[in-house]
């Protein structure tokens, strides 16, 4: 089973397309347009297009994650819920997003969404709010997720915004969160680059921390000099059960799957990265 641990709702599901075309190229997110060729076309992608792309690539299931970075977090959560209800076989697991800068009680939002609409995880994009993962304003959300026994995914890599530091997402801050919430399952999104060694160290230290490689072209993970060497070493050995394949809609899934299968990893480890680890974490095992 191949599981994409992170896809996001198409923009048209939560924002007017013409408004998106006007806002995104001039917003603080515009750096993404010059980094990922696929981003410019995402404005026109519909949910059925996304499902078709996944099917063509052989992706069996995916975790649909709301991702507050621009727009209204409520609209994104609503979009994720609608899509998951329409395609339950493709998106059996779906995560909400939060924005601690709003007046809403985010811990209450999490509990309500989990108990009333079946969400089973929370996605944190701290750089969007200029907040590090260990910012105490996130702590009520972490406490609620630990209480409800649901995972938190945290952006743990470079961001390509034009007006805020990449430092907000250093994996080392996850260490403090994992220390303060030892029973909380945490997924570090995007593999921690350029702080891969930090990401590996935090995961090695904390058994409830996973490493997800979404929006990363797998061929670079095995390319010398790119900084991914620690993941190749430990992801093929000590951490082989805690690496998760994902695309984040930023790269074509078929290409990513083909590149991952070509990595110099043990065959059993490739299967774990592509889906076995995610199936166990998500309780989707056959």
- Convert the pLDDT of each residue in 112-166 to its tens digit: 999 999 999 999 999 999 999 999 999 999 999 999 999 999 999 999 888 889 9
pLDDT of residue 38: 55
pLDDT of residue 19: 78
Domain boundaries, the chain: 3-281
Buried b (16+ CB within 10 A) or exposed e, 172-193: bbbbebbeebeebbbbbbbbbb
pLDDT of residue 41: 54
Query: What pTM was computed for the model?
Result: 0.94
**Please, are residues 211 and 242 in contact by the beta-carbon 8 Å criterion?**
yes
- Convert the pLDDT of each residue in 49-93 to its tens digit: 999 999 999 999 999 999 977 778 999 999 999 999 999 999 999
The domain defined by 3-281 folds into TIM Barrel (3.20.20)
Helix (H, G, I), strand (E, B) or coil at 82: helix
């Amino acid at each position: 089973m191949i599981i994409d641990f992170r896809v996001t709702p198409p923009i048209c599901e939560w924002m007017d397309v013409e408004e998106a075309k006007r806002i995104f190229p001039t917003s603080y997110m515009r750096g993404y347009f010059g980094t990922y060729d696929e981003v410019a076309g995402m404005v026109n992608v519909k949910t059925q297009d996304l499902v078709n792309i996944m099917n063509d690539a052989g992706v069996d299931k995916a975790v649909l994650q709301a991702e507050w970075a621009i727009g209204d977090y409520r609209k994104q959560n609503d979009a994720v819920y609608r899509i998951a209800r329409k395609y339950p076989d493709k998106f059996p697991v779906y995560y909400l997003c939060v924005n601690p800068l709003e007046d809403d009680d985010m811990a209450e939002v999490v509990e309500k969404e989990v108990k009333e609409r079946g969400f089973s995880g929370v996605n944190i994009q701290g750089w969007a709010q200029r907040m590090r993962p260990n910012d105490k304003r996130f702590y009520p959300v972490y406490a609620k997720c630990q209480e409800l026994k649901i995972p938190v995914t945290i952006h743990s890599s470079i961001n390509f915004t034009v007006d805020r530091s990449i430092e907000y997402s250093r994996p080392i801050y996850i260490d403090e969160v994992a220390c303060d919430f030892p029973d909380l399952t945490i997924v570090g999104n995007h593999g921690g680059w350029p702080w891969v060694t930090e990401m590996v160290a935090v995961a090695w230290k904390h058994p409830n921390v996973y490493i997800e490689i979404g929006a990363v072209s797998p061929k670079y993970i095995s390319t010398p000099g790119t900084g991914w060497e620690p993941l190749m070493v430990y992801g093929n050995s000590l951490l082989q059960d805690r690496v998760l394949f994902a695309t984040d809609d930023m790269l074509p899934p078929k290409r990513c799957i083909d590149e991952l299968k070509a990595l110099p990893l043990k065959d059993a480890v490739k299967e774990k990265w592509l889906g076995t680890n995610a199936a166990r974490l998500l309780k989707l095992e056959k």
